[in-house]
A = this chain, B = another copy of it.
C-alpha cells in the first residue's frame, strides 16, 4: 500500500510552480472531488526550504536537492555545516529516515528553464515504477518519463529519496522566479495523475497499460571552453527548446560566437534534455543526454 505520501514544493526556492501548488492546496485543501479521488491516501503538503523562498533563490548556501546522501545525513552537524545540510537532516527526521522510511512515497516538485514539458523523473525501473510510468503516460500523453537509474536508489542525494520510494515532477520551460499558467497547470495535472495512480494501486484497480517510451539519463555535455575556461559557444538555435527530440549524428548542437556550428559527433542519436537550464550554467553544463527505451 502507498498510504503516506509527502508532496513537496520549494526544494528550490525560486521554482514557483510547485511552491504555488503547495500553497494553494494548503490554503484551500483538496476539493471534494479530489478528496474522494484520493480517499486511500494520507497526503502531507510541505515547503522544503522556506528561507530560500524568502530570499528568492534556489538555495541559501548549498543545493538542498543534493544533501540527501546517506553519508551526508549521517555526518554530525557543526558550525560550518551548510544551512541546507542541516535542513536535510531535519526533513529526514520528519519524512525518513532514508533507508528505513516511514513515508511510502515522496513526490518532489521542480521546474526548469528547459523546455521539458511535464516530465516525471523516476530513479528505479522496478515493477512499481514501470506501472507508474505507464499509468502517467496513458493518462497524460503529453508527459515525458525520465529514468535516472545510473546508480542505486539510495545513492542519490535527491530529497525524494527520503521516502521508501521517491519521484520528481520537473516541468518547463519556466524562468526562475516566474509562474507561468501553462507550467502551473501541467504541474497540477501531473501531481494529480501520480496520486490517481497511488489510489488505483491501493484499491487494486490498475489496468494493464501498454509499454511506454522512457528516456534514460546518459551523461552531461559541457559547453566548449577556451584555455581560460571561458565559453566559446552557445546552444545552437536548432537545439534550443527541443528537449527530448532526437539529436542525430551531424546535427548542430552549439554555435560558436564567431558563427561556426559544432555538431553532435557520436555514432548514435541522443535525446538531449535540461537544455540550457539556468541552474547548471555555473557548472558549464549545456544539456544532458539520454537513450530512448520502452518500459
Interface residues of A (CB under 8 A from B): 16, 20, 23-24, 27-28, 56-57, 113, 173-182, 184, 230-231, 234-237, 240, 255, 257-258, 276-279, 281-282
Contact = CB atoms under 8 A, between A and B. Distances in A.
Contact of A182 (B180, B181, B240, B281): B240
Contacts of A113: 175, 177-178
A283 to B, nearest CB: 11
Nearest to A279: B177
Given A182-B240, A240-B182, A177 B234 contact: no
A35 to B, nearest CB: 16
14 contacts: A16-B281, A27-B230, A28-B258, A173-B175, A175-B175, A175-B178, A176-B278, A177-B278, A177-B282, A178-B276, A179-B235, A179-B281, A180-B240, A182-B237
A277 B177 CA distance: 9
B181 A234 contact: yes
A281 B57 CA distance: 13
A239 to B, nearest CB: 9
A176 B179 contact: no
Given A20-B257, A113-B175, A176-B176, A235 B278 contact: no
Contacts of A20: 231, 234, 257
A237 B181 contact: yes
Contacts of A180: 234-235, 240, 276
Contact of A235 (B181, B236, B279, B281): B181
A27 B282 CA distance: 20
Contacts of A176: 175-177, 278
Contacts of A255: 181
Nearest to A25: B257
A57 B13 CA distance: 14
Given A56-B282, A230-B23, A240 B175 contact: no
